[in-house]
Amino acid sequence: MNTRPPLLFALHGTQEYAARVARHMGLELAELEERAFEDGEHKTRALTSVESRNAVVFHALYGDDERSVNDKLCRLLFFCGALKDAGARHVQVVAPYLCYARKERRTQFQDPIITRYVAALFEACRVDRLTTLEVHNLAAFDNAFRIPTRHIESAELFAEHFARLAGDDELVAVSPDAGGAKRAESFRRALERRIGRAVGSAYMEKYRSNDIVTGTMLVGDVRERIAIIVDDLISTGGTLLRAGEACRKAGARQVHAAAAHGLFTGGPEILESPVFDQLVIADTVPPFRLPPELVSRRLTVLDSSAMVAAALKSEYG
């Protein structure tokens, strides 16, 4: 049995997040070299021996101004393959944000199911385990990967935050669509445990066809209550805005929104909207697309590194 602690590696762009996880575990990040070549190719290698060691590789797979999603994915996969070639006993990937998780089913004729193809790439590079936070569709994620996976929910993280704001007000957990009802229910139960009283539930109807979203009916009572809309991510922000506006029209006293991943591909519109009293995200994707002043004034970013560290410590001791 290997009782040595795992070696923790972080690729470019995820070092700060991984360093916080490492501190929670009482460890330091292992050194690596990332090298780019003139023709656009690259390589990454560990600078310490990984022979017979457990290795954990951190990389959040979102595109930014420096590297695309595909570039980050290739760098991660090639590095994991190199670790296995160098004799690593077990290689686990921690992807705080997992790319292509929303392309888990066919919505048009001959559509690709890219989540499944990404899973096959992980397996081909001999990754032994994948840990990620708040995937879009948990059932599809579980079905796509044949290697062991760990899915960390954001429910407890958000429940801890909103429990401090609860006071004596009645709260309602709102899903912005029927597909996210299980996520909102998990949050609702976590919040109930923390505040010791009942939390209501509601959801929005939502229909999507060729990227056009329709549906305006809110199911559930939010009148004179604090509505907390919970989703897996904020992309353009349109889904949350529709749900927030519906809650306002239905008489909600306050409207808050929480999402694990803040992509903000639609720019600052959702933060500038007066619909929300507060927007909360986890730190899986830095809000680099937004003006810093607006972020500091309108956005609350919660640290998820302790949750990840706890999951890894339960595995490695």
Are 204 and 246 a contacting pair, CB within 8 Å? yes
pLDDT of residue 2: 58
Catalytic one of 72, 84, 103, 206:
206
- Same structural domain for residues 103 and 211? no
pLDDT of residue 1: 47
Strand partners, 218: 204
pLDDT band at 107 (very low <50, low <70, confident <90, very high): confident
The answer on pLDDT for 211 being more than 80 is: no
DSSP states of 54-111: EEEEE------SS--HHHHHHHHHHHHHHHHHTT-SEEEEEESS-TTTT--S--STT-
Q: pLDDT tens digit string along 75-91? A: 999 999 999 999 999 99
Q: What percent of the chain has pLDDT over 70?
A: 96
Are 60 and 95 a contacting pair, CB within 8 Å? yes
Q: pLDDT tens digit string along 108-122? A: 899 999 999 999 999
Computed over every residue of the chain, the mean pLDDT equals 94
Please state whether the predicted TM-score (pTM) of the whole model is above 0.95. Answer: no
pLDDT of residue 208: 54
- Same structural domain for residues 70 and 172? no
Give the CATH number of the domain where residue 41 resides. Answer: 3.40.50.2020
- Same structural domain for residues 186 and 275? yes
- 103 carries an active-site annotation: no
Domain range enclosing 297: 154-303
Helices within the chain (DSSP H only):
15-25, 69-85, 114-124, 138-144, 155-163, 181-195, 238-249, 269-272, 292-298, 305-316
Q: Is 245 helix (H, G, I), strand (E, B) or coil?
A: helix
- Same structural domain for residues 67 and 84? yes
Averaged over 284-306, what is the pLDDT? Answer: 96
pLDDT of residue 210: 52
Averaged over 230-234, what is the pLDDT? Answer: 96
Angle at 191 between CA 140 and CA 266, to 5 degrees: 55
Question: Which two three-digit tokens encode residue 115?
Answer: 């989540």
Q: Cα(84)–Cα(131) distance, rounded to whole angstroms?
A: 18
